Every structure is written in C-alpha cells, then in structure tokens.
Amino acid sequence: MKESQIQSKKIKELEAKGYYVIKLIKTNKNGIPDLIAIPPNSDVEFYEVKAPNGKTSPLQDFRLKELTEHGVKAEVYKPL
C-alpha cells in the first residue's frame, strides 16, 4: 500500500471520529508531519504517515521531538 493510500485511510478514520484533518503539502518548516488533526474541543495533533516499512528522516525525527517538547501530540503512524 502506498503512503498516499495510507494517508487517505488515516484521514477517513480520524474524520469518522469527528476530527478536523488537514493534509500539509508545503510549510515554512521542512520535516513537519503530514497531517494536522484537531479533535472536537481539544488540542491539535500531528501525524507523520509512513508505509509499514517506511522510516522517518533525521529531520522528521527532529520536528516530531520539537513538536512534542512544545506540548503537542506528534507521532508516526504506520498501519498494522
């Protein structure tokens, strides 16, 4: 399964739970996760979507850590 297909599946899963989901294409910071998910009446969440055998780059790892240290939920999503 391609990452784009996995992203679509994750977006649908989150939207079914009531999240407002944004797919990021281009930002002012390279390495930012693919998706922003905002649960109803809650804080923002970031998801870096990877294929089952995909790996994050060092820059992506840095951004995930940076977001987490800023108090934001940021994680890598891989399908089972």
Candidate from 8-12, 25-29, 47-51, 75-79 with smallest mean pLDDT: 25-29
The mean predicted confidence, pLDDT, of the chain is: 93
Pairwise CA distance, residues 2 & 65, whole Å: 25
Q: What is the pLDDT of residues 18-56, one digit of tens each?
A: 999 999 988 899 999 999 999 888 889 999 999 999 999
Pairwise CA distance, residues 37 & 12, whole Å: 11
Neighbours of 49 (CB within 10 A): 22
3-class DSSP state of 5: helix
Q: What is the pTM of this model?
A: 0.77
Neighbours of 63 (CB within 10 A): 21
Show the tokens assigned to 35.
Answer: 């998706």
Identify the pLDDT of residue 52.
92
